[in-house]
């Protein structure tokens, strides 16, 4: 399956499926406003624009948490943090797009690991997709191992 209808948006390559969402994503990230209506008033001929502030999707908090765990002495500048945040938002949007395509093809009520693996393989190059799947599986395994360990170590109530 070749994707020849690629477009460039703000010096970034956008795939045809996600180009519209990418434009919205840029607006969300930078907190721009969207004009919802252009109604003329009775008193004057000027256009009245109602501006709605779009909520920002940011992962800066989580980026800083992970940085603190991985490299506590490293310092991130505001521009670097902004670029990392944009990257994460874009990657999540790509995965959301591919998962919605898979959901339309195979409608299920829940996501399984196979669907997520397939979406990752469709979005990323081979080596990056394989390592992402490995790290994702390891993270889920570690999370459940810690969750079950904390449940088994909690004091049991006597009846």
Position 23 scores a pLDDT of 65
46 pLDDT above the threshold of 60? no
pLDDT in tens, 117-142: 889 999 999 999 999 999 988 888 88
Where residue 3 falls among pLDDT bands split at 50, 70, 90?
A: very low
CB atoms closer than 10 angstroms to residue 89? 19
Buried b (16+ CB within 10 A) or exposed e, 13-28: ebbeebeebbeebbeb
Max CA-CA distance within the chain? 77
Residue bearing the bigger pLDDT, 147 or 79 = 79
Position 77 scores a pLDDT of 92
pLDDT in tens, 32-41: 544 444 555 4
Tokens of 114: 């196979």
């Amino acid at each position: 399956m070749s994707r020849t209808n690629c477009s460039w948006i703000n010096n970034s390559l956008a795939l045809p499926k996600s180009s519209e969402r990418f434009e919205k994503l840029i607006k969300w990230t930078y907190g721009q406003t969207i004009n919802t209506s252009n109604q003329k008033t009775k008193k004057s001929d000027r256009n009245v624009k109602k501006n709605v502030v779009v909520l920002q999707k940011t992962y800066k908090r989580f980026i800083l948490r992970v940085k603190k765990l991985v490299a506590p002495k490293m310092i991130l500048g505001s521009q670097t943090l902004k670029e990392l945040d944009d990257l994460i938002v874009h990657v999540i949007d790509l995965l959301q797009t591919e998962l919605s395509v898979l959901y339309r093809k195979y409608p299920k009520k829940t996501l399984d690991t196979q669907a997520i693996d397939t979406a990752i393989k469709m979005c990323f190059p081979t080596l990056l997709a394989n390592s992402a799947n490995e790290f994702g599986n390891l993270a889920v395994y570690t999370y459940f191992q810690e969750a079950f360990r904390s449940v088994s170590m909690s004091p049991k109530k006597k009846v």
